[in-house]
Amino acid sequence: MSNPSSHRSNFIEQAEAIILENLANEQFGVSELADAMNMSRSNLLRKIKKQTQLSASQFIRQVRLQEGMELLKETSLTVSEISYQVGFGSASYFIKCFREQYGYPPGEVGKGTVEDEEENSVRPHFLKRYLWPIMVTVALVMAVGFFLYSGKDTVPKVEIEKSIAVLPFKNESSDSTNLYFVNGLMESSLNNLQKIGDLRVISRTSVEKYRETNKGIPEIAKELNVNYLVEGSGQRVGDQVLLNIQLIEASTDTPIWVEQYKQEVVDIFALQNEVARKIAAAIEAVVTPAELEQIDKKPTDNLQAYDYYLQALDPFYSRTKEGLEEAIPLFEKAIEHDPQFDQAYANIAISYYFLDVFQKQKQYTERINNFADKALLYDSKSDISLIAKALYYMHAEEYRLALPHLEKALEYNPNSAAVVQVLSSLYANYIPNTAKYLEYALMGIQLDIAANDSIGKSYIYLNLGNALIQTGFTEEAITYINKSLDYDPGNYYAPYVKAYIQYAKDGDIEQTKKALMWELQKDTTRLDILQEVAKLHYFQADYENAFTYYEKFAEARKAYKLNIYPHEDIKIGVVYEKMGLEEQAVDFFNAYAEYCEKDKSIYKSASTAMKYAHEGKNDKAIEQLKVFAAQDNYQYWILLFLEMDPLVEPLKSHPEYDETIQKIKDRFWENQAELRTSLEEKGLL
């Protein structure tokens, strides 16, 4: 933006001023800037492009980065703190963009330091922070208040002979704009190999961190737990593609297949497919006819469409509002050149899903559905198209309708870490099934074994530790929750989950309360922990202290209009009743009754039993517990806390109580034994 004309300077200065006014708002993007300047989006895009040679989203990002540079020079704030102050939703994405803009990481600037560039995490303000408890902690301790000692210290690492990782390809051209094309070659090689069920293929997120690494092949292979690595480099010169690629056996650090290609761009898809076939043949992987059909599919016949598609991938994978808004028009340009480009339609649907996912008022439901339907229309066997449709159903809260699409996607791409992660989340949060949750969590850690940074690894191990404890594998859960904290001692949720895992091991409720209180003192706005502390007091029939915490929780939940922890309303009602607040108690009891009526999960009968117990209908309560005793794959928390609930006390004198409770316990351990056998047979445990 050097030597601007007066007209250009005024326009750009006005745009910069508006961006700076909204600097900390990560949701402030192109559309918001256009509105603030009383311009149409298309007119804004044209003017910014004409005067800066940047897209509007690139221009906004540049202003944010320039302000970030000033803050790094002039303040003692950490990189993570600055990243959020200048409107980046992720510290690691800020570091990535900063390095691209200035050629070095922000930690090298002025007083700003990066203790470990990719490892800093941030504690956002209450509303931003509380979006995570809504999505994450429901999965972590959803049924606490309603795990088995295995004798093993850890889940053994599974060695799979045909395991492979495709490392980021290197751009050998001096033209940096070639990078997206070379990345596309890597992406296609990875995608084709992922479709082979006889291989275990490490995810894109796990290999991305090795783009600028000095580590050797044996070290990388050990970190990724694979036996083979693919390395590549390439460039595009006019209509020619030059590609060097080799398959390396990790144990000997020896190339077992090497190929150099020089082909016309028009043959790019044939080249990509040939690479996948030759790699599979070199390691003697079995490729079925159906898998070969998937590999041989061309994404599009239009090279211009494919070029726009490749340009969109990097901002698309950022998953930031800014990145997604940059990717969507590029996918749309791809569709303009090929109206039947299914992957472009699917990725637009996925982009709109992520733009909407944190919004209370959903804006893009119909767009997600329409683009997903078009993707399926043009390729009903595409894993990406199926994922897009599944995300639509999740967006519409029709979670069970998402399952068949995800399961079918996994058939077409058995190495899709994205599908496995979504299935794990569904079975943890919305369609409770502890066996499925653990199975997909274990699959996920095999495919996404080394996330981009230690924070990512920490959350992967947190998820696995939580899945293990819910299924009663206490010792294994302790191992992985400790790994989670080793990778990121500042992990927001791991100490919370660890407190309950430790309770499963030693049964010390006072120590559990102490651990949770320690976390609450760090951040008194944490409603997830606030209601947990209240609940532990409730279990001890300490209603006065329970009220202290439940009252704060209930008031905050109401003030922020949050529909969270509805299954706790009966406990809150009991506490309010004990404190003489009859009218308020009735409101909680009515809300709980409504929750029971709407509940479609396996816990409906257990919840209803508590309702009947409170109403003094002991026979009906026991009947509901009998129904629950026939369910499968419920959480270990049921065994640990059900009998501690004061509501259950009157049921203990019922002649069928002991037998019913024993059936619930027996059923849990039977399920766990079957699960262990199943996971061992699949090589997951």
Residue 247 pLDDT greater than 90, yes or no: yes
CB under 8 A, 24+ apart: contacts of 46-54: 47/11, 48/15, 51/1, 51/4, 51/8, 51/11, 51/12, 52/1, 52/12
AA identity, residue 391: L
* pLDDT, mean of residues 250-277: 84
Lowest mean pLDDT among 146-155, 188-197, 400-409, 563-572: 146-155
SS3 state at 235: strand
Top mean-pLDDT range of 39-53, 183-197, 323-337: 323-337
> Does 612 map to a domain?
yes
Using the 8-state DSSP alphabet, how is residue 233 labeled?
Answer: E
* pLDDT, mean of residues 371-388: 95
Spatial contact of 327 and 347, defined as CB atoms under 8 Å apart: yes
Residue 144 pLDDT greater than 50, yes or no: no
**What pLDDT is attached to residue 465?**
94
327 and 273 both lie in a single domain: no
Burial zone of 662 (CB within 10 Å; 0-12 exposed, 13-18 middle, 19+ buried): exposed
Range of the domain at 661: 599-681
**What pLDDT is attached to residue 89?**
64
350 and 408 both lie in a single domain: yes
SS3 state at 79: helix
Quick one: three-class SS letters along 549-592?
HHHHHHHHHHHCCCCCCHHHHHHHHHHHHHCCCHHHHHHHHHHH
> Does 674 map to a domain?
yes
341 and 254 both lie in a single domain: no
422 and 322 both lie in a single domain: yes
If you search the block for the tokens 């066997």, which residue do you land on?
381
In angstroms, the CA 455 to CA 462 distance is 10
Q: Residue 46: which CATH number?
A: 1.10.10.60
User: pLDDT tens across 151-184, in order?
Assistant: 333 344 433 468 899 998 888 777 666 777 777 7
335 and 430 both lie in a single domain: yes
> Does 381 map to a domain?
yes
Mean pLDDT of the chain: 84
* pLDDT, mean of residues 315-339: 93
Spatial contact of 48 and 18, defined as CB atoms under 8 Å apart: no
Query: Which helix (H) or strand (E) element contains residue 436?
Result: helix 434-447
249 and 319 both lie in a single domain: no
User: pLDDT tens across 494-503, in order?
Assistant: 999 999 999 9
**Domain stop point among 272, 297, 322:** 297
User: pLDDT tens across 595-649, in order?
Assistant: 999 998 899 999 999 999 999 999 999 999 999 999 999 999 999 999 999 999 9
**What pLDDT is attached to residue 586?**
97
Lowest mean pLDDT among 130-134, 184-188, 302-306: 130-134
> Does 495 map to a domain?
no
281 and 323 both lie in a single domain: no
289 and 336 both lie in a single domain: no
**What pLDDT is attached to residue 9?**
63
**What pLDDT is attached to residue 44?**
84
> Does 459 map to a domain?
no
User: 157 versus 58: which is more confidently predicted?
Assistant: 58
281 and 387 both lie in a single domain: no
Which residues have a Cβ under 8 Å from the Cβ of 251 and sit 6 or more positions away?
218, 221, 227
In angstroms, the CA 681 to CA 675 distance is 10
Number of domains comprising the chain: 4
User: Over the Cα atoms of the chain, what is R_g?
Assistant: 27
**What pLDDT is attached to residue 140?**
43
Q: Residue 185: which CATH number?
A: 3.40.50.10610
Lowest mean pLDDT among 145-154, 284-293, 438-447, 510-519: 145-154
**What pLDDT is attached to residue 212?**
82
376 and 279 both lie in a single domain: no
% residues pLDDT > 90 (the chain): 46
**What pLDDT is attached to residue 339?**
97
> Does 151 map to a domain?
no
Q: Residue 329: which CATH number?
A: 1.25.40.10
**What pLDDT is attached to residue 129?**
37
**Domain stop point among 440, 470, 486:** 440
> Does 252 map to a domain?
yes
* pLDDT, mean of residues 240-258: 89
> Does 446 map to a domain?
no
**Domain stop point among 382, 411, 440:** 440
**What pLDDT is attached to residue 438?**
93
**What pLDDT is attached to residue 434?**
93
User: pLDDT tens across 419-463, in order?
Assistant: 988 898 899 888 989 999 999 988 888 776 554 456 777 888 898
